[in-house]
Amino acid sequence: MSDPWKECMDHCLEVTKKAGEMVREALQKEIAVMQKSSPVDLVTETDQKVEQLIISSIKEKYPTHSFIGEESVAAGAPSVLTDNPTWIIDPIDGTTNFVHRFPFVSISIGFTVKKEIEFGIVYSCIEDKMYTARKGKGAFCNGVPIKVSGQEDISQSMVLTEMGFKNDPEQFNTMLANLKTILTLPVHGIRSPGSAAVNMCLVACGSADAYYHMGIHCWDMAGGAAVVKEAGGVIIDISGGPFDLMSRRLIVASSRAIAERIAKEITEFNVGRDDTDN
């Protein structure tokens, strides 16, 4: 059967490789840091240049497609997911890591049609790991098939989450309380690599068993969601319901048992939505 989106995925792979070179080159130079919504929400010229490179290259080939890009949205573009073929782009996922040269920095691109993710690419460009996944065709790292650990026992698991500063004291306290709850189940450990897309790929390749997060965006999730799903992982909403790409929250796990256990243990807080709050 012919694959209508294969050409888009091939093009995506080429442009992602170029973007990765741009990121690695930028790491050799001085990095000028700017603030966005808060002192811990950072952006650099490289985030903006990489997004321009990716969008212009795709637009030239596919002029009718839609885009949701982190830096375009920051500059005022809408972030509404429609049925049109849509490229959801995070030019640098892990900008804080990039600024500190902490080695988990990725380029994340997810491609949706009729709001369904068709493929995802996450390039962890310092590690030089290219994660790719096409719906129904499996997940790969540098061309080698990957799969989740299959772990079902939370007490044997490695859990990933991120713990950034939050302006809202109630959210901040809930985030800390959730960490304590998960740590005291107990689990083998909690880690915070600093890139949501890399976190999902770590679950996809079995290096971690779960990842949960409230407060990220569709561009942090789209590429990795394809990878983890195709690697046999489970993605659900923090509430335990179905995953919603625009909801700014998710639980990813190696098994439904672990995903549902995390949903049961942690307390939600309101983070808004990408399609109504931008």
* Shortest spacing between CB 125 and ligand IPD, in angstroms: 13
Q: Which stretch binds ligand IPD (CB under 6 A): 122-130, 165-173, 194-202, 248-256?
A: 194-202
Choice from 81, 88, 125, 196 touching ligand IPD (CB under 6 A): 196
Q: Which of residues 145-184 bind ligand IPD (CB under 6 A)?
A: 162, 164
Instruction: Count CB neighbours of 23 within 10 A.
Output: 21
* Given the residues 70, 162, 274, 275, the one annotated as active site: 70
* Residues 50, 152: Cα–Cα separation, whole Å: 39
Q: How far is the CB of 43 from ligand IPD (least distance, A)?
A: 8
- Active-site residue among 220, 230, 244, 274? 220
Q: How far apart are CA 18 and CA 16, in angstroms?
A: 5
Q: Which of 68, 88, 92, 117 is catalytic?
A: 92
70 flagged as catalytic: yes
Residue 62 CB contacts under 8 Å (≥ 6 apart), including other chains: 8, 85
The residue to which tokens 């493929």 are assigned: 119
267 as an active site residue: the answer is: no
Q: Which is nearer to ligand IPD, 35 or 84 (by Cβ)?
A: 35
Q: What are the tokens at 83? A: 């049925």
Catalytic residue status for 90: yes
Residue from 71, 220, 230, 274 binding ligand IPD (CB under 6 A): 220
- For every residue of 167-225, DSSP letters joined together read SSHHHHHHHHHHHHHHHTTT-SEEE--S-HHHHHHHHHTTS-SEEEEES--HHHHHHHH
Q: What are φ and ψ of residue 277, in 5° steps? A: -105, 10
Q: Specify the stretch interacting with ligand IPD by CB under 6 A; choose among 5-13, 61-69, 138-146, 188-196.
A: 188-196
Q: Does 215 interact with ligand IPD (rule: CB under 6 A)?
A: yes
Q: How many CB atoms lie within 10 A of CB 216?
A: 21
Smallest separation, CB 138 to ligand IPD (Å) = 24
In the window 229-268, what residues touch ligand IPD (CB under 6 A)? none
Helices 6-27/45-61 angle, 10° precision: 160
d(C-alpha 5, C-alpha 134), whole Å: 9
Binding mask 80-119 for ligand IPD (x = CB under 6 A): ----------x--xxx------------------------
CB of 170 to ligand IPD, least distance (A): 18
Which value, to the nearest 10 degrees, does the dihedral of the CA atoms of residues 60, 66, 68, 74 take? 70
Residues in the chain: 278
Concerning whether 236 is annotated as a catalytic residue, the answer is no
The answer to whether 220 is a known catalytic residue is: yes
Catalytic residue among 95, 112, 132, 161: 95
Under the rule (CB under 6 A), what is the footprint of ligand IPD? 70, 90, 93-95, 162, 164, 194-196, 215-216, 220
Residues with catalytic annotation? 70, 90, 92-93, 95, 220
